[in-house]
Structure 1
Amino acid sequence: MATNQTWDQIILFFSQDEHTALEPFFKLFDEFIQTEHPKELQANTTNNLIVVLETQE
């Protein structure tokens, strides 16, 4: 199925607002890490998320 929507727009569409969209985002992100790049990204996942969270504050 083709769509013109980006992944972030789809997550936001199914959420009440940006704040509630964070939970499904991280759930899907963890699923992606486990299935697509288990060895390369798992070791750095925590560090990458800390950097993202710190830049948003």
Structure 2
Amino acid sequence: MPQYQPLNDVLESLTSRLMSGEHVILSGHRRIGKTQLMQHLEANAPDAFLPT
């Protein structure tokens, strides 16, 4: 199985939108990396995403 390669432009856009308070919906066909994208974001989330 291929290794997940983070899409930096997608991660930057997603992070930027979440930081501005937007809601984001990920949709797409099976096995294109939606879950891996969110797991990568969770593991590498900016400190601003953490509750205070």
TM-score range, shorter chain: 0.3 to 0.5
Structure number with the bigger relative contact order (C-alpha 8 A, sep ≥ 6) is 2
Task: Normalising by structure 1, report the TM-score.
Answer: 0.33
